[in-house]
Chains A and B, each alone.
Chain A
Amino acid sequence: MKQILTFITIFSCFLLLTSCNDWLDVTPQGDAEAEELLSTTAGVNSAVAGLYYNLIQTNSHAGDLSFGTLDVLAQYYEVSDVNHQDYYFAQYDYNNIRVKSRINSWWKNYYLSVAQANQILSELDNNSGNIDTPELFEGELLALRAFIHLQVYQLFGPVVQNQADLEQKAIPYRYEFNELPTEFLTCEQVLTNAKNDLLKALELLENDPIRKGHKRLDNNESMLAYNNILANRVGRLNYFAVMGMLVRVEQLLLNQSETDGAFYWANRIVKETESGDQNIAFTTKEEVEGSGPGARDLLYSSEIIFSLHINNLYKVAGKKFSLPGYNGKQGLMLTVNSASFDNFVNYVYGREPDGAGTDYRLNYWFNQNSGSSNFPFQKYREPEDQNKIYKISYPEVAVLRLSEIYYAMCESKINVDNVKALEYLNEVRTKRGLPELDNSEADNVAIYLMRERRKEFMGDGRTFLINKRLFTNIEASSSLNIEASKAIFELPIPEDEFTYGPEEKSSNN
Chain B
Amino acid sequence: MLPLLSNGDTNPLFDANLPFKDETISNNVIERFNFDWNINKALRLKASFYINYGDSNSSSYRSPFSSSYTLKQILDEGYGYLPVDKRGEMSKNDSKSLDVSSNVVLNYNKQIGNHTLFFGLGGELEYRKYDGYGFSVQGFPNDKFQDVAFAMQYKEGSKPYSSSSKSKSVGVFLNGNYIYNDKYFADLSIRYDGSSKFGADNKFAAFWSVGGGWNIHKENFFSNGFLEELKLRYNYGVTGNQEFSAHQAITTYAYRTDLLYDNTISATLKAYGNPNLKWQEQKSHNLGLDFVLKEGRIRTSLNYYQKRTTGMLADITVAPSLGFPSGTYKANLGEIENIGYEANINAVLIRNQEKDLEWGIGLQLAHNESKILKISDALKTINDANNAAKKVPGLVYEEGESLTTIKAVKSLGIDPATGEELFLKKDGQTITRIWDAEDKIIGGNSEPVLFGNISNNLYYKSWNLNMVFTYSLGGDIYNQTVVDKIENLNPNFNGDKRALTNRWKKPGDETSYKAINTSDKTFISTRFIQNQNILQLSNLSLSYQFDSKKLSKYRIDALRLSFYANDLFRLSNVEVERGTDYPFARSFGFGLNVRF
Contact = CB atoms under 8 A, between A and B. Distances in A.
Contacts of A174: 321-323
Contacts of A108: 320, 323, 327
Interface string A383-413: 0000000000000000000000000000000
A502 B583 CA distance: 40
A45 B318 contact: no
Given A16-B125, A179-B322, A181-B322, A46 B255 contact: yes
Contacts of B104: 9, 13
B575 interface: no
A502 B490 contact: no
Contact of B389 (A14, A45, A83, A504): A504
A115 B388 CA distance: 24
Nearest to B104: A9
A292 interface: no
A158 B178 CA distance: 75
B54 interface: no
Most buried by B among A47, A49, A54, A98: A49
A37 B320 contact: no
A31 interface: yes
Contacts of A54: 268
A2 B42 CA distance: 12
A350 B257 CA distance: 46
Interface in A26-42: 26-35, 37
Contact of A83 (B251, B492, B519): B492
Contacts of B389: 183, 502-504
Contacts of A178: 272, 322
A112 B325 contact: yes
Given A177-B323, A502-B390, A97 B521 contact: yes
Interface in B362-390: 378, 381-382, 385-390
A172 interface: yes
Given A9-B45, A24-B203, A500-B318, A2 B386 contact: no
Interface string A161-201: 00000000001101001111111000000000000000000
Of the candidates A21, A24, A183, A497, the one having the most CB atoms from chain B within 10 angstroms of its own CB is A24
Contacts of B318: 179, 181, 500
A118 to B, nearest CB: 8
A181 B272 contact: no
Interface string B319-332: 11111110101010
Interface stretch (A228-236, A238-246, A295-303): A228-236
B299 interface: no
A180 B385 contact: yes
Contact of A49 (B264, B269, B322): B264
Nearest to B329: A179
B378 to A, nearest CB: 8
B319 A500 contact: yes
B563 interface: no
A13 B106 CA distance: 11
A112 B167 CA distance: 29
B272 to A, nearest CB: 6
A83 to B, nearest CB: 6
Interface in B298-339: 316-325, 327, 329, 331
B558 interface: no
B203 A21 contact: yes
A56 B259 contact: yes
A100 B521 contact: yes
B265 interface: yes
B444 to A, nearest CB: 20
B172 interface: yes
B467 to A, nearest CB: 43
A97 B488 contact: yes
B261 to A, nearest CB: 4
B106 A9 contact: yes
B428 interface: no
A116 interface: yes
A222 interface: no
Contact of B123 (A16, A114, A116): A16
Interface residues of A, number: 85
B254 interface: yes
Contacts of A182: 321
A171 B323 CA distance: 14
Interface residues of B, number: 89
B260 interface: yes
B253 A47 contact: yes
B263 to A, nearest CB: 7
A312 B202 CA distance: 43
A17 B254 contact: no
A115 B76 contact: no
Chain A CB within 10 Å — which of B164, B268, B322, B521 has the most?
Answer: B322
B520 interface: yes
Contacts of A327: 71, 74-75
Interface string B535-555: 000000000000000000000
A29 B390 contact: no
B321 A501 contact: yes
A349 interface: no
A96 B519 contact: yes
Contacts of B163: 29
Contacts of B170: 16-17, 20, 23-24
Contact of A312 (B125, B259, B331): B259
A35 B75 CA distance: 48
A309 B259 CA distance: 11
Contacts of B262: 49, 228, 231-232, 235, 309, 311
A457 interface: no
Contacts of B202: 21
Contacts of A116: 268-269, 323
A23 B168 contact: yes
Contacts of B45: 5, 9
A502 B391 CA distance: 11
Contacts of A235: 261-262
A50 B157 contact: no
Contact of A107 (B106, B196, B321): B321
Given A23-B168, A32-B267, A53 B203 contact: no
B323 A112 contact: yes
A327 B170 CA distance: 54
Contacts of B329: 179
CB-based closest 3 A-B pairs:
A115-B323, A49-B266, A53-B266
Interface of A: 2, 5-6, 9-10, 13-14, 16-17, 20-21, 23-35, 37, 43, 45-47, 49-50, 52-54, 56, 83, 95-98, 100, 104, 107-108, 111-116, 118-119, 171-172, 174, 177-183, 228, 231-232, 235, 309, 311-312, 315, 327-328, 330, 494-505
Given A24-B196, A53-B259, A53-B261, 18 more contacts: A24-B170, A26-B196, A28-B246, A30-B255, A46-B267, A49-B266, A97-B520, A108-B320, A174-B322, A179-B318, A179-B378, A179-B382, A181-B385, A231-B262, A312-B157, A496-B320, A502-B385, A502-B386
Interface of B: 39-40, 43, 45, 71, 74-76, 104, 106, 121-123, 125, 157, 163-170, 172, 192, 194-196, 198, 202-204, 246-247, 250-257, 259-270, 272-274, 316-325, 327, 329, 331, 378, 381-382, 385-391, 396, 436-437, 488, 490, 492, 519-521
13 contacts: A2-B40, A6-B43, A24-B168, A31-B252, A32-B267, A116-B268, A116-B323, A178-B322, A181-B322, A228-B264, A311-B260, A327-B71, A499-B319
